[in-house]
């Protein structure tokens, strides 16, 4: 369903009226397209404190030239060397003169360092960058985003910076992403980084899952479209369009993992756990059946299938697991105790399994946590609840399935091996939750 309020605020009368009434003024977001794959403008690189990062070659490969107009499309502030409260003044000094000049739908990325457990002054200063980043994201407006990346190795963060400094991250703001020190695997074809890789997407016959399958196929993956047997016709339609294959299968079946392994004897490089359901009721009115259905699809099947595919070796070395959490699992949502529990469980799975899966199998484990995304499901939500969902984020609008898909594709990228154990919200920086 079209966001008529967003369209209205893009007109002169709409801008005037909403400004006078103090209403949200969302800006149309600049998203990726084949015709316009990058931001329109240059990059301003600033440093606060003393940095040891070798950033220039990494930033050059992000696709943005140096800003020469005074209206940068992106600003990167390297604050990784800040070690005390006094150093935070340099962050203010760097950004204060330029923040107003950042172009509409522009990007600000603050670079920080991991917290040093042996130096509480450094830890305090670096943690301060998180509050700074989230607060700036809530005030900057005009479709601009602000994110924090904690890193020690600039080269390991190359895919992350390329994502955050591109239109692909249009609905990702206020996020804190930690990047390890592993050197990246550089794909042969940067335009098709998943070429030669097999990606399995569950619940891919429609909605967000279909968008994820489409984006991974765009990036070169051979996509397997998995959905329940009742959606087989839609799954085959999607698979045929993308040059992939359909796999009709109930993901909650006890032997689902074994059947996937049997159907894909050459293994899987990317596993996307997208399948999910809702069965909303307040707890006082929720039957045991509704509770069990949601936990079974959204969490138990994810755990069983992941365990089976890891233990059988079906997930290849260098593989990627991307699960779907939700801001409902972070902030909670009335009428969704079952759904919130299942999605919080996904977060627990990611954080616990990620280091072990990487050490034992060479596989990373991350999650995307969507907020209000414009789908057929949200279109059926009552008008006032739908409008609240759209406006209660820093970008004052709903996201699109493509926003979740682009974030998934970044986590699935061969060069994203240093991103592990992360839960990245795709919510326009929802005003609910952290």
Q: Bridge partners of 78? A: 47, 111
Alpha-carbon distance of 81 to 53, in angstroms, equals 9
β pairing state of 176-178 and 198-202: unpaired
5 as an active site residue: the answer is no
Question: Quick check: 410 and 416 in contact, CB under 8 A?
Answer: yes
Instruction: Give CA angle at 175 (173, 179), nearest 5°.
Output: 130
Contacts of 21 (CB under 8 A, 6+ apart): none
Gyration radius of the chain's alpha carbons: 21
Nearest C-alpha neighbor of 395 from the set 427, 363, 418, 366: 427
β pairing state of 423-426 and 145-150: unpaired
Alpha-carbon distance of 90 to 69, in angstroms, equals 23
Please give the structure tokens belonging to residue 400: 């699109």
How many residues appear in the chain?
Answer: 434
Question: Quick check: 145 and 16 in contact, CB under 8 A?
Answer: no
- Integer angstrom CA distances of residue 118 from 115, 122, 181, 215, 256: 9, 9, 19, 43, 46
Nearest C-alpha neighbor of 179 from the set 136, 147, 138: 147
Please give the structure tokens belonging to residue 255: 């032997």
Please give the structure tokens belonging to residue 94: 């760097």
Question: Quick check: 124 and 88 in contact, CB under 8 A?
Answer: no
Question: Quick check: 25 and 18 in contact, CB under 8 A?
Answer: yes
User: Residue 40, Cβ neighbours under 10 Å: how many?
Assistant: 13
Query: Which residue of the set 5, 32, 132, 339 is catalytic?
Result: 339
Active site residues: 339
């Amino acid at each position: 369903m079209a966001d008529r309020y967003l369209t209205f605020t893009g007109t002169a009368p709409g801008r005037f009226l909403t400004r006078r009434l103090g209403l949200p003024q969302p800006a149309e977001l600049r998203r990726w397209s084949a015709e316009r794959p990058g931001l329109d403008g240059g990059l301003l690189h600033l440093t606060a404190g003393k940095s040891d990062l070798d950033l220039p070659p990494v930033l050059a490969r992000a696709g943005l030239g140096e800003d020469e107009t005074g209206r940068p499309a992106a600003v990167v502030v390297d604050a990784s060397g800040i070690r005390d409260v006094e150093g935070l003044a340099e962050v203010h000094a760097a950004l204060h003169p330029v923040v107003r000049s950042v172009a509409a739908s522009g990007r600000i990325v603050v670079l920080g360092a991991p917290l040093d457990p042996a130096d509480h002054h450094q830890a305090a200063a670096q943690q301060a960058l998180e509050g700074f980043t989230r607060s700036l994201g809530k005030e900057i407006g005009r479709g601009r985003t602000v994110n924090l990346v904690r890193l020690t190795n600039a080269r390991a963060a190359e895919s992350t910076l390329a994502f955050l400094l591109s239109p692909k991250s249009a609905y990702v703001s206020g996020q804190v992403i930690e990047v390890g020190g592993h050197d990246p695997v550089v794909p042969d074809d940067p335009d098709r980084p998943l070429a030669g890789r097999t990606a399995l997407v569950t619940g891919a016959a429609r909605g967000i899952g279909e968008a994820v399958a489409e984006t991974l196929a765009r990036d070169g993956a051979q996509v397997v479209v998995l959905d329940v047997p009742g959606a087989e016709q839609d799954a085959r339609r999607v698979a045929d369009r993308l040059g992939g294959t359909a796999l009709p299968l109930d993901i909650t079946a006890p032997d689902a993992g074994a059947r996937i392994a049997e159907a894909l004897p050459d293994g899987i490089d990317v596993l996307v756990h997208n399948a999910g359901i809702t069965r909303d009721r307040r707890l006082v009115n929720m039957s045991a059946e509704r509770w069990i259905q949601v936990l079974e699809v959204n969490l138990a099947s994810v755990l069983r299938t992941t365990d089976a595919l890891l233990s059988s070796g079906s997930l290849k070395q260098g593989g990627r697991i991307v699960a779907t959490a939700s801001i409902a699992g972070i902030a909670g949502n009335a009428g969704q105790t079952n759904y919130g529990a299942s999605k919080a469980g996904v977060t627990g799975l990611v954080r616990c399994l990620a280091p072990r899966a990487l050490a034992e199998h060479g596989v990373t484990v991350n999650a995307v946590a969507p907020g209000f995304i414009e789908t057929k499901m949200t279109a059926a939500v009552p008008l006032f609840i739908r409008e609240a969902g759209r406006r209660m984020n820093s970008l004052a609008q709903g996201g699109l399935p493509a926003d979740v898909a682009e974030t998934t594709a970044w986590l699935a990228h061969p060069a994203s091996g240093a991103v592990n154990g992360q839960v990245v919200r795709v919510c326009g920086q929802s005003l609910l939750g952290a």
